[in-house]
Amino acid sequence: MNYGSVIFLGVFATFVASWWGMIFAPQLQLGSQQPKVPEGASMAYPTLRPGVAAQGHKVYVAAGCVQCHSQQVRQQGYVFDVLLTGTTNQQGTAKALYALGIKDGTQLISSATDTTPQPVRKNISQAEANRIQKTLTDSGATAPMLFIPIGADIQRGWGFRQSVAQDYLYENPVQIGNSRLGPDLTNIGARQPDAQWHLRHLYNPRIDIKGSTMPAYQYFFEKRKIGKTPSPDALKLPPEFAPAAGYEIVPKPETLRLVAYLQSLRTMTPLFEAPMTQLPQVKPAGDTNAPAGTNAPTATNAPTPKTNSPSTNTPAK
């Protein structure tokens, strides 16, 4: 340990090893990722953002939104629902249902169609779902299974499934974030599709969300005298937040781009590595920060589920 060259070569060798292991090898695996067409879909995923939203991404980066908002949904696991959409053997299926502890099986069968699937069991483990599905299928019934991702983030409405590497393919720079001082924005576009809401929220977050600690981004807006006709873009503000009479608040061009970007933030495509069958329900505007109510939304109004992942080969998490 008394030669500079020994230190240099040793450090060089150990560091090269880590560079190969932590940069080069992952690049071989992740760097070759391509957009792919999920099973049952017609378009490759992910898609490039439209131009305005892509410009809005730059505004998002420049304003440092990432300091408080992450874009990664974490998931704790899955639960499964087994549905009934029809049967070729009413009696056999009714028996099978009775064996599963469902007394009014015939009623269930009669109301089960492709468009109105009836839940047989909800929120069960994969093994149990497989068992029930097999029992029903053996009796001649069509019994699809729903993959329902669960987790705190998903329950809160921050996303429909966990984020995976594929989701970030076209992001640059990726704004995944490491702090959740504000809500996660992975799905803000689905949660809150209303552009006016976003503009109001940027102008003063406390208009719609009382007690919010988000800064008011008033430099994104221009306060100006109303001309002959009011600007069509001018914000419609509640009286206590409105500017003085004769003035209007108009968003600057980059603000509109930022909002376009926020609206484009939605991750709802099921992937092989992140399967889900529950078609997402877009929540009504206005309660973006409220919890989603239930993490296993009602299956009754869901269209015929298409399972995009082989049920026997589901990643556990």
Partner 1 sequence: MNGSTSTSSAPSLRREDVVRDIESSAATPLALMFFASLAWLVVSAVFALISSVKLHSPVILANCEWLSYGHTRPAANDTFVYGFASQAGIAIALWMLCRLGSVRLFAPIGATIAAIFWNVGVALGTVGILRGDTTGFEWLEFPTYGSAMFFCAFLVLAVIALVTFARRHDRELYPSQWYIIAALLWFPWLYTTARLLLVWHPVRGAMQFLVNGWFASGLFTLWLGALGVAVLYYFIPKLGNGQLYSRALAILGFWTLAVFGPWMAGLYHGLPLPSWIVSVSIAATVLTLVPLVATVMNLWNTRRFPASDCARIWFTTSLIFFAITGVLNVAVALCPAVPLTVIVEAAQVIALYGFIGFALFGAIFQIVPRITGADLTCGSRGKLTWWCTMLGILFFSGALLLGGFVQGRKLMDGSVPSIDIMNAMKPFIRASTLGLLLLLIGNIAIFGSVAKMLYDCCRRCCSCCCPGDKQAKDAKLKTARAAR
Alpha-carbon torsion angle 96, 100, 105, 110, nearest 10: -70
Shortest CB 271 distance to partner 1, Å: 11
Q: Name which position in 93, 133, 139, 163 contacts partner 1 (CB under 8 A).
A: 163
Cβ-based neighbour number of residue 261 at 10 Å:
26
Shortest CB 88 distance to partner 1, Å: 40
Shortest CB 29 distance to partner 1, Å: 6
| 68 contacts partner 1 (rule: CB under 8 A) | yes
Contact letters for partner 1, residues 193-232 (x by CB under 8 A): ------------x---x-xxxxxxxxx-------------
Contact letters for partner 1, residues 268-297 (x by CB under 8 A): ---------------------xxxx--x--
| 47 contacts partner 1 (rule: CB under 8 A) | no
Question: Comparing C-alpha atoms, which of 283, 314, 282 is closest to residue 145?
Answer: 314
Q: Name which position in 133, 167, 277, 305 contacts partner 1 (CB under 8 A).
A: 167
As a whole number of angstroms, the distance between CA 30 and CA 7 comes to 33
Question: Comparing C-alpha atoms, which of 200, 193, 186 is closest to residue 285?
Answer: 193
Which stretch, 114-122, 168-176, 234-242, 277-285, contacts partner 1 (CB under 8 A)?
A: 168-176
What SS3 class is residue 199?
helix
Are the beta carbons of 226 and 215 closer than 8 angstroms?
Answer: no
Question: Comparing C-alpha atoms, which of 179, 94, 97, 160 is closest to residue 133?
Answer: 97
Cβ-based neighbour number of residue 80 at 10 Å:
24
| 2 contacts partner 1 (rule: CB under 8 A) | yes
Omega of the bond leading into 238 within 30 degrees of 0 (cis)? no
| 54 contacts partner 1 (rule: CB under 8 A) | no
As a whole number of angstroms, the distance between CA 223 and CA 229 comes to 15
Q: Which of residues 75-134 bind partner 1 (CB under 8 A)?
A: none
Closest to partner 1 by CB, 3 vs 228, is: 3
Closest to partner 1 by CB, 120 vs 271, is: 271
